[in-house]
Structures are given as C-alpha cells and as structure tokens.
Amino acid sequence: MEETLTGIPGPRDRTVKLPNGIVLDVPKSWRLLPPGDTGLTRRVKASGPTWTVQEKKGRRTFSRGVYADGSTIERIRKELELERSTETYAKRQASSRVRRDAKQSAYVEDFQAAIVSFLNFDSRYHTLGVKLAKAVSDHATPIGSGTVARTERIPIERRAESAVIAWLRHQTTSYDHLTIPRIAGMRREVRRMLAEESRKLLDSYRRGLSINADRCPLQKALHAKKTESVTHTTRSPAPSKRNTKPS
C-alpha cells in the first residue's frame, strides 16, 4: 500500500477515486478524519499511510478529510489532548496569536496603502479614496476570506487592483443579479466589460472631475456600507429567550 494518496470521493461509500480513474475501497480498519484540526491531521499523515480526499467546486478545492488507520487517529488524538492541556502549550498558543495578530494588522495596513496608491485619486477626492480603500480591505483581508488579497502568488499591487475591481463589480454594478448564459467565456467577458466600467469610474476621480454624488454608484455604495455599519453597531441586543419565573 502506498504511503500517501490523494483522490476525490468515489462512487460508493468508503471509496476513493484517484486521478487516473482507479477506484479504491477504503481498508476496513480505517476511519475518515474530518478537516478542521490541522495539527492532528499533520501528525496523522506523518504516522503512516493516509488517503486524502478532496473535492473541487468551481475554482476552489475543498478537503473532505483524510482516511487513516482508526487506532492511529485515536492514539494521536489522545496525545494531542494531553499536550494541549498543559500550561506550556497554552502560553505557546497565546504567543502565536499575538504574532499572528501583529502580522495581520501590518498586512491590512500595507494592503490599504497599496489600494490608495492604485486609486491615485485627485486631492479633492483623497478622503473618498481612503474610505474606499478601507471598505475594500475590510472585505478582502480577513484570514480565511478566500479573496485575491489572501494570495501571495502575485505582488501586493496587483492584489490591491484586483480587490478593488472585484469590490466595485459586486457593489456598484448589477453583476450579482445578472442571468449569464452558460456559454464558454461568457462570464469572463461580462466581468471584463464591467471592469472597464469600473476603471472609467475610477479615472473620473483620478482626474478630479466634478461628480454628482447622488448619481455616482461608488459614493452610493460607500454610503450604504456606512449606514449598514452604523445600524449594526447601534442595534439593540436581542432579548434573552431564557424562561424565567415571575417573582
């Protein structure tokens, strides 16, 4: 048996289909370790033969878990639980969180600066540019968001540009409500045309032209986001559903 294999869910329960089309039956003593605990998964993979199950939806690939010997999974799970219950582990985790938070804060700051640089709005619209940069960054930079801002495969300048265009596509155009025919390349063409509209809109601000705020889709979108944020922060907490006896 090979040490590691990667495939997709097979046609039957407890089967894995390999890229070459071969369907394998999962050994009886094996169990599926669901995704979510990267530490446990990493140690299980390092401890013996495993079969990784993945599934692709659209352009994204999702993990469905790892098949491995059931006794191995339980042994490593108990070892981890014991290790994670120690004070040393708690301190190490706390230090890691501080480092991650600092790294994330620095990246958000750099990403917003890259957006402002890409926008390059005329001085009369500088404040608006900063607001747009924050709105785009708030959407794109959270860890696990899966947006272009989280990839390191392209320079941050290109990430910033792509994130702005994507935000404008969803917030200032009718893209989310369009019915696009299932024709090869049609969705890409629609996105290209909408991107051109967004670039023309940005160019107006770069040139410092007079713009009617009531008709500008960008300013209307930012105003809507601001209103949404204010409503969310001022909303009263929901009443408790806990049953209480009258006094």
According to DSSP, the β-strands at 23-25 and 60-69 are unpaired
Q: What pLDDT shows up at residue 234?
A: 58
- What confidence tens digit (pLDDT) does each residue in 174-229 have? 999 888 888 988 999 999 999 999 999 999 999 999 999 999 999 999 998 877 76
Q: What pLDDT shows up at residue 75?
A: 97
Cβ-based neighbours of 178, under 8 Å, separated by 6 or more: 190
Instruction: Work out the angle at residue 139's Cα, subtended by the Cα atoms of residues 185 and 121, and round it to the nearest 5 degrees.
Output: 85
Residue 60, H or E segment: strand 60-69
| CB-CB contact of 208 with 124 (8 Å) | yes
Q: Distance between CA atoms of 220 and 15, rounded to whole angstroms?
A: 52
List phi, psi (to 5°) of 135.
Answer: -65, -45
The DSSP symbol for 144 reads T
Q: What pLDDT shows up at residue 244?
A: 43
Q: What pLDDT shows up at residue 231?
A: 60
Average pLDDT over residues 69-87: 96
1 pLDDT exceeds 60? no
Residue type, 53: V
22 pLDDT exceeds 50? yes
236 pLDDT exceeds 90? no
Give one word for 183, left, alpha or beta, with left for phi > 0 and alpha for psi -120 to 50.
beta
43 pLDDT exceeds 60? yes
Dihedral, CA of residue 108, residue 110, residue 111 and residue 116, to nearest 10: 120
Q: What pLDDT shows up at residue 57?
A: 81
Q: Distance between CA atoms of 149 and 141, rounded to whole angstroms?
A: 6
Looking at every residue in the chain, the average pLDDT score rounds to 90
- Least confident piece of the model among 19-33, 62-76, 230-244: 230-244
* Percent of the chain topping pLDDT 70: 91
List phi, psi (to 5°) of 59.
Answer: -95, -5
Q: What pLDDT shows up at residue 129?
A: 97
Average pLDDT over residues 132-153: 92
Average pLDDT over residues 145-158: 91
Instruction: Rank 50-64, 112-126, 224-238 by mean pLDDT and report only the highest.
Output: 112-126
Burial of 82: CB neighbours in 10 Å, binned 0-12, 13-18, 19+: exposed
Count of other CB atoms within 10 angstroms of residue 130: 15
For the chain, the structural domain boundaries read 4-84, 107-223
The DSSP symbol for 208 reads T
